[in-house]
Amino acid sequence: MTAFKLPRPALVLAVALIAGFALWTRVWNIWAEPMWLDEGYSAYAAAKGWDFLWNVVPRYETHPPFYYSLLRAWTLVAGDGLVAHRLLGVLCGMATLLVAALAARRLARIAGVDAASAAPRIALAVAALVAASPVLIWMTREIRPYPLMILAYAGATLALLAIAERRAAGLPLAGRAFAAWLGCGLAMLWLHNLGPLYAGAMGLALLCVVRVRTMDRADWLWFAGGHLLAIALWLPALFILLDQAPEWVKATWLKFSTVDLWRRATYMFTGPHDDIRAAAAILAVFGGALLWRARQRRLLAALLILALLPVGVSLVVSHYVTPVFIIRTMTALAIPALLLMGLGIGWTPAGEDRRGFVRLLPAAALVWVLVGQAVIDVEARFGHLQRDWYRAVEWLAPRFGPGDVVFAYPNEGALPFDRAVRDHGLAMPSRPIPTEVPSLNPPPGSWYVSGSRGVPSLDRVQLRAIARAPATRAVPTIWLLRLGPWAYDKGDVFLEELSQGRVEVGRFKDGAIDIVGLRRDDAPVPVTPAKAGVSAEGRAR
> Of residues 351 and 367, which shows the higher confidence score?
367
pLDDT at 22: 97
pLDDT confidence bin for 6, thresholds 50/70/90: low
Q: Of the candidates 354, 381, 408, which is a domain's last residue?
A: 381
Spatial CB neighbours of 67, under 8 Å, sequence gap ≥ 6: 42, 144, 145, 148, 190, 191, 192
pLDDT at 350: 64
Percent of the chain topping pLDDT 90: 78
Q: Is there a domain that residue 347 lies in?
A: yes
**Mean residue pLDDT across the chain:** 91
425 and 340, same structural domain? Answer: no
Among 146-155, 193-202, 521-530, the least confident range: 521-530
Whether 270 and 136 share a structural domain: yes
Averaged pLDDT for residues 459-485: 94
Three-class SS of residue 397?
helix
The verdict on 357 and 405 lying in the same domain is no
391-421: per-residue pLDDT in tens? 999 999 999 999 999 999 999 999 999 999 9
Residue 20 domain flag: no
The gap from C-alpha 90 to its chain's centroid, in whole angstroms, comes to 12
pLDDT for residue 286 is more than 50: yes
Choice between 244 and 294, residue whose per-residue pLDDT is larger: 294
> DSSP E strands: which ranges in 373-475?
405-409, 430-432, 447-448, 456-457
Confidence of residue 251 (pLDDT cuts 50, 70, 90): confident
The whole-number pLDDT of residue 322 equals 87
Q: State the Cα–Cα distance between residues 219 and 114, nearest whole angstrom.
A: 31
State the Cα torsion 188-191-193-195 to the nearest 10°.
0
pLDDT at position 530, please? Answer: 43
**What percent of the chain lies above the pLDDT cut of 70?**
94
Q: Is 356 in the same domain as 396?
A: no
pLDDT at 53: 96
Residue at 301 is within a domain: yes
Shared domain for 406 and 348, answered yes or no, is no
Q: Are residues 304 and 335 in the same domain?
A: yes
- The number of distinct structural domains making up the chain is 2
- H or E element at residue 423: helix 414-423
Q: Is residue 38 part of a domain?
A: no
Task: Give the tens place of pLDDT for each residue, 310-357.
Answer: 999 999 999 998 889 999 999 999 999 999 999 999 887 765 445 566
Q: What three-state secondary structure class fits 130?
A: helix
Q: Please state at what angle helix 118-132 crosses helix 8-27, rounded to 10 degrees.
A: 10
pTM of the model: 0.93
Q: Which of 346, 361, 381 is the last residue of a domain?
A: 381
Query: Is there a domain that residue 37 lies in?
Result: no
pLDDT of residue 539: 35
Which of 327, 357, 381 delimits the end of a domain? 381
Query: What's the pLDDT score for residue 536?
Result: 35
Give the model's pLDDT for residue 8: 78
Residues 273 and 394 in one domain: no
The answer to the question of residue 9 being in a domain is no
Element (H, E) at 391: helix 389-396
pLDDT of residue 528: 54
Q: What is the pLDDT of residues 180-238, one digit of tens each?
A: 999 999 999 999 999 999 999 999 999 999 999 999 999 999 999 999 999 999 999 99
Cβ proximity of 111 and 296 under 8 Å = yes
- Give the least confident one: 273-277, 449-453, 536-540: 536-540
**pLDDT tier at 532 (50, 70, 90 boundaries)?**
very low
Residue 508 has pLDDT above 80, yes or no: yes
The verdict on 424 and 318 lying in the same domain is no
Tell me the residue range of the domain where 278 lies. Answer: 47-381
Terminal-residue alpha carbon distance, the chain: 59
Residue 456 within any structural domain of the chain: yes
Residue 531: pLDDT band (50, 70, 90) is very low
- Return the pLDDT at 540: 34
412 and 357 in one domain? Answer: no
Q: Which of 93, 95, 191 is nearest to 141 (CA)?
A: 93
Could you tell me the pLDDT band of residue 524, with boundaries at 50, 70 and 90?
A: confident
Q: What is the pLDDT of residue 1?
A: 37
Pair 370, 417 in one domain: no
Q: Nearest-CA neighbor of 50 among 69, 75, 76?
A: 69
> Within this chain, do residues 201 and 294 fall inside the same structural domain, yes or no?
yes
Of the pLDDT bands very low, low, confident and very high (cuts 50, 70, 90), residue 100 is: very high
Is residue 411 a part of any domain in this protein?
Answer: yes
Residues 313 and 403 placed together within one structural domain of the fold: no
